[in-house]
Amino acid sequence: MMFDSNTITASFWYWFALFIFGILLEAVALVYQYWLDYLPCVLCIHTRMLVFAALVVSALMLWGRSIRMFRLGAHLLLIVIWAALTERSWQLLATERRWSIGECSMDSSLPGWIPLERMMPWLFRIEEPCGYTPEMLFGVTMAEALIILAPSMTLAMAVMLIRSETLKRQSPSRE
């Protein structure tokens, strides 16, 4: 057995690492916004919302990790979140490269009962229309980095879910 995913996914450190990863992603976005003056567009804000959702799920799992059904639900949610982030990343890259036009507006399209841009404007306020993302290390733009990161995380969450559920089903027959 390569690794015991049940033990890993029940670990505080697994969920803490995912939480810290989300914090780091949000921190990078805020550094680019507030220190380097790259203002966010609607697709960037959607990306932040999805990362924030993953962050909340991982934070909740710091307490719910010992319950198998919570781990199952959390992994399913994270797969959906990272898959949605993959789609938003693709739209961001397509807008940046001018493969697609029309995905961008100055409205977050959130329902009225969840006004994130009013609750946390420092994190979720749309500042400018879409068009480009800033260059990061080695000439890679944020959109290019996200289009690699998001599907990789979707795949990682799916692998952890499948392995932990497969091992759970095989456990009784081995004993």
**Sign, Cα dihedral of 90, 126, 27, 120:** negative
Residue 10 above 70 pLDDT? yes
Domain boundaries, the chain: 5-167
Q: Which architecture characterizes domain 5-167 according to CATH?
A: Up-down Bundle (1.20)
In this predicted model, what pLDDT tens digit does every residue of 141-168 receive, in sequence order?
999 999 999 999 999 999 999 988 776 6
Torsional class of 109: left (φ above 0), alpha (ψ -120 to 50), beta (otherwise): left
**pLDDT band for position 130 (cuts 50, 70, 90):** confident
Tell me how many degrees the CA angle 26-116-101 measures, rounded to the nearest 5: 75
Residue 173 above 50 pLDDT? no
Q: Kindly write down the DSSP assignment for every residue of 115-155, as one continuous string.
A: -HHHH-HHHH---S--S---B-GGG-BHHHHHHHHHHHHHH
> Residue 171 CB: number of other CB atoms within 10 A?
10
Task: Please give the pLDDT value at position 1.
Answer: 46
| Measured CA distances, 75 to 68, 142, 154, 156, 170 (Å) | 11, 25, 10, 10, 19
Task: Please give the pLDDT value at position 167.
Answer: 64
Report the predicted TM-score, pTM, of the whole model to 2 decimal places.
Answer: 0.87
Mean of pLDDT values over 57-68: 93
> What does the DSSP 8-state code read for residue 102?
S
> What does the DSSP 8-state code read for residue 112?
T
What b-and-e string marks burial along 75-111, b requiring 16 or more CB atoms within 10 Å of the CB?
bebbbbbbbbbbebbbbbbbbbeeeeeebbeeebeee
Query: How far is residue 28's CA from residue 26's CA, in Å, rounded to a whole number?
Result: 5
Which residues are paired to 141 by β-bridges? 135
List the structure tokens of 150: 């998001």
In this predicted model, what pLDDT tens digit does every residue of 18-56 receive, in sequence order?
999 999 999 999 999 999 999 998 899 999 999 999 999
Residue in 15, 101, 6, 113 with CA at minimum distance from that of residue 63: 15
